[in-house]
Amino acid sequence: MVQTWTPPDLSQACAVHTNITTCQPSTFLFLQLVANLFGRPRDGEGGGLGFGFSGFSGFDGHADDDRSVEEFDFIVVGAGSAGCVVANRLTEVPEWRVLLLEAGDEEPLAADVPAFAPMLQASSIDWMYATQPSPKSCLARDEGRCTWARGKVMGGSSTINYMIYIRGHPDDYDEWERMGNTGWSYSDVLPYFIKSEDSRDHKGIDPRYHGKGGYQTVERFPYQDENTIGLLRSYQELGLPEVDQNSEQLIGTMLMQHTSRDGERLSTNGAFIRPIRTKRRNLTVRTNAHVTRILIDPKTKTAYGVEYNRNGRLIQVVARKEVILSAGSINSPVILMLSGIGPADHLQQHGIEVLKDAAVGFNLQDHTTIDGVVFRLTNHTSTLVGDEQMQSDTYEWKETRNGPLASTGALQTNAFIQTKYEQSLDRPDIQISIDSVNADNFYTDPILSYNTAVLPLSYYSGMMARPILLNPESRGRILLNDTDPVYGAPLIYANTFFEEIDLLRIVEGVKQSLNLERTSFFRKAGVRLDRTPMPACRHLPFGGDEYWACVAMAYTTTIFHPVGTCKMGAAGDRAAVVDAELRVYGVRGLRVVDSSVMPKIVRGNTNAPTIMIGEKGSDLVKKRWLRKGGGGRYSQKVVPDVGGFSKGGFGGELKGPSFDFDRFFEDNFRF
């Protein structure tokens, strides 16, 4: 097998900066070791053979270089968190032939190692998107732009994410239904969460909410260091109960569940496609197939196929029944717009014939967080190791699937809290995640440290508390690239912090996370907040509301959860792109099945909900075509009724004074 995965290229960032450890030769040597050991693909030979492990899964006599036009019953665009689920479930009907197209390459072995998650971003399997400059966020980042990692690989972003399995709050889905999306209440979607899952946890898990025997294994990592357990106890000491955050109660803390199996990542590719890829002859998988547009009859407004670029050739394939777009919240709206579905004025500016004037690309939402809240560890609690030990741990994981690399460090401990701004009784508005950081690197150069953060999550001398905004009011937009709308990176206008309440919630989240410093574990272990001012905010008194607001707007980042750009809504909703059955308004034979359909972002990590959307979307397709005599059988899993939940708290409310947002912005950010 050949090496197809290449790690992030640090040469440019480190060209004139060698004062942090990630720019030292040892880091480059470690990345090369990882590429040599884990750079080859897990499935197939790489390079986009695209017909399964041996190169011939689903092969029926036609190939890309054949001049005839292939026909399938369904074409699924995008092998990500939803697309892999859809391709699996539709091929359960043996009479249906399904083509799964993925713009990226095969999944590399490097993705299997949980602690390697940071080095997957900005590697060869990342689209490497970035936001457009904004007046209220990412101000200290390079060119004023925040990076938005998205998986360009089999499994999509489930192959490069941090594997956190959280579904969101029940009322998130009830709210979807209240917005006009019949069939998307919590009681409607819970069976689909359970259907996917193969839960291997027992302690602290409510079995009423979890499934056994599904394709997607969900478990806790086999390794936790003392800081991880100390964090869990600290949250409890501050008043957060330990709960199953995949039941009906989120407010609290838990040792998180992950999309992993026996100490290694289990992407949706690994869970839903790998087990069937060489077995179901009605499934054809093609990698390195960049879809450029959906083929739509302009007279009947019916989708009948797709066009994709592979090896420099434009190829067209036909769908007898439906085209299913599962390219994600950035690429799905781009493909729709390139196909003539989108805002008429924007399409006309790019010379695209308007087939359906629709609010495609609007309603963009994300879970924003920040850099800058760092608790320094002592030599006793630091997990940093030398080069030899890091290499030894790498070989240990390779042989045993255990040891420090079989986890994501302190990030395993999670907290959901409420700030004083939250109006609901039981939904959180802030999630606190604890990220690994080399504290010396970070305070030497925060931006360079962020840009070169590639070493395993297991090794850290600081714990970065990240307050994550769960229910943003700000809305962004995706636009086509002006220079090259087909292959150029889309323009991402995140509009982060355009609504004042979003910034106020983040500031309160920071202040509540600071309570960790007074817990028994932090005091006994000597873990202290580093009070070194962030460079862009040195002009403000450390620790005040204005200081933390400055840090939030200057050192903005995200946990990469873009949703909402092909909004699901009722027929009377002018902002809706798809209906409650995920059918694109105004075009027959076309659905969108991925996170872009979320009308409002869920209050929790988005991978599990996207898998659920794939499951429910597949059933919607089956119900449509099996009712019409499409052949095959299917059944829906029945789950018991579920109970209620109680409210938790977090160490008392900090009621610090607010401030004039507009005046503060004018005084501190005049560029």
Q: Which strand (E) or helix (H) includes residue 313?
A: strand 313-325
* Residue 144 φ/ψ region, left for φ over 0, alpha for ψ in the -120 to 50 degree band, beta for the rest: left
Paired sense of beta strands 356-357 and 341-342, if any? parallel
Task: Tell me the torsion sign for CA atoms 557, 563, 566, 570.
Answer: negative
Q: Is 354 annotated as a binding residue?
A: no
Q: Is 291 annotated as a binding residue?
A: yes
- Distance from C-alpha of 549 to C-alpha of 501, rounded to nearest angstrom: 11
- Distance from C-alpha of 227 to C-alpha of 630, rounded to nearest angstrom: 55
Dihedral, 510, 515, 518, 519 alpha carbons, nearest 10? -120
- Whether the Cβ atoms of residue 353 and residue 509 lie closer than 8 Å to each other: no
SS3 of residue 29 by DSSP = helix
- Distance from C-alpha of 271 to C-alpha of 261, rounded to nearest angstrom: 10
Paired sense of beta strands 98-101 and 129-130, if any? unpaired
∠ CA 640-179-132, nearest 5°, is: 115
- Distance from C-alpha of 396 to C-alpha of 379, rounded to nearest angstrom: 24
- Distance from C-alpha of 100 to C-alpha of 51, rounded to nearest angstrom: 10
Tokens 């869990």: give the residue: 232
Is-catalytic flag, 561?
yes
Estimate the crossing angle of helix 83-90 against helix 607-626, to 10 degrees. 30
Tokens 């620790």: give the residue: 543
- Distance from C-alpha of 63 to C-alpha of 293, rounded to nearest angstrom: 20
For the chain, how many residues are written?
A: 671
* Residue 478 φ/ψ region, left for φ over 0, alpha for ψ in the -120 to 50 degree band, beta for the rest: beta
- Distance from C-alpha of 417 to C-alpha of 402, rounded to nearest angstrom: 32
Estimate the crossing angle of helix 25-38 against helix 387-400, to 10 degrees. 10
Query: What is 59-124 written as a DSSP string?
Result: --S--TT-SSPEEEEEEEE--STTHHHHHHHHTTSTT--EEEE-SSBPPBGGGG-GGGHHHHTTST
Query: Which residues make up each annotated binding site for FAD?
Result: 153, 291
By annotation, the residues acting in catalysis are 561
